[in-house]
Amino acid sequence: MASKADELRALSETIAGCTLCRLSEKRNNSVFGEGSAEAKVMFIGEGPGADEDRTGRPFVGRAGQLLTKMIAAMHFTREDVYIANIIKCRPPGNRNPEDEEAIACLPYLKRQIELIQPKCIVLLGGVALQHLLGIKGIMANRGKWQTYMDIPTLATYHPSFLLRSPNRKKEAWQDLQDVMRKLGKEPGKAK
Ligand code: URA
């Protein structure tokens, strides 16, 4: 029987050749996601930007550096968790994904979640919240527990938003502490 890691690898190869939507036409690389196949927590962002399209890895630009710090504040490393996106290919000019692009891509993310079976999902920003849970409005809905595929799921601010609005970091940290509590981890002090 194929291991989870083998199945994830096979899925990433399928995605590298995916032509289900027009985003495949302009991509340099698809961005599958990365981290531990045994991750207890999965972070889901919006979609690749220029740095991610160039490298084929999620959250490696400025927003990614902040996400790495957020993960470290939770006493995890990037290797402990799993990081993915709603869509696997970069939309031109970093626009938001269109509904049909997100709908075409969603089965891939669902399969990743099914294989990894995290204890918690953290949605990064309003686009992830809208396309995964059908809920609009990150400001009104961050920090509220929802359920996705029977997994406790919480949305917080996207790191790109936090770079533009650092005064919102406190709320994001409260959300991440809540996630730590859900995972049975001692939140400790804010960083
Ligand atoms: N923003 C995202 O939502 N995802 C990435 O992978 C990078 C930036």
State pLDDT tens for residues 142-158.
Answer: 999 999 999 999 999 99
Q: Is 45 in the pocket of ligand 1 (CB under 6 A)?
A: yes
88 alpha-carbon distance from chain centroid? 11
7 alpha-carbon distance from chain centroid? 19
Q: Is 97 in the pocket of ligand 1 (CB under 6 A)?
A: no
Q: Which atom of ligand 1 is nearest to the CA of 86?
A: 3
Q: Is 12 in the pocket of ligand 1 (CB under 6 A)?
A: no
Mean pLDDT over the full length of the chain: 96
Q: Is 46 in the pocket of ligand 1 (CB under 6 A)?
A: yes
- Identify the weakest region by mean pLDDT among 11-15, 91-95, 142-146, 168-172: 91-95
- Residue in 59, 60, 124, 127 to alter for ligand 1 test, most ligand atoms within 8 A of Cβ: 59
The burial of 114, by beta-carbon neighbours within 10 Å (0-12 exposed, 13-18 middle, 19 or more buried), is given as: exposed
CA distance 32 to 37: 13
Tell me which of 55 and 190 has the higher pLDDT. 55
Q: Is 48 in the pocket of ligand 1 (CB under 6 A)?
A: yes
What's residue 54's pLDDT? 98
Q: Which atom of ligand 1 is nearest to the CA of 124?
A: 3
Question: pTM of the entire structure?
Answer: 0.96
Q: Taking residues 114-128, report their average pLDDT.
A: 98
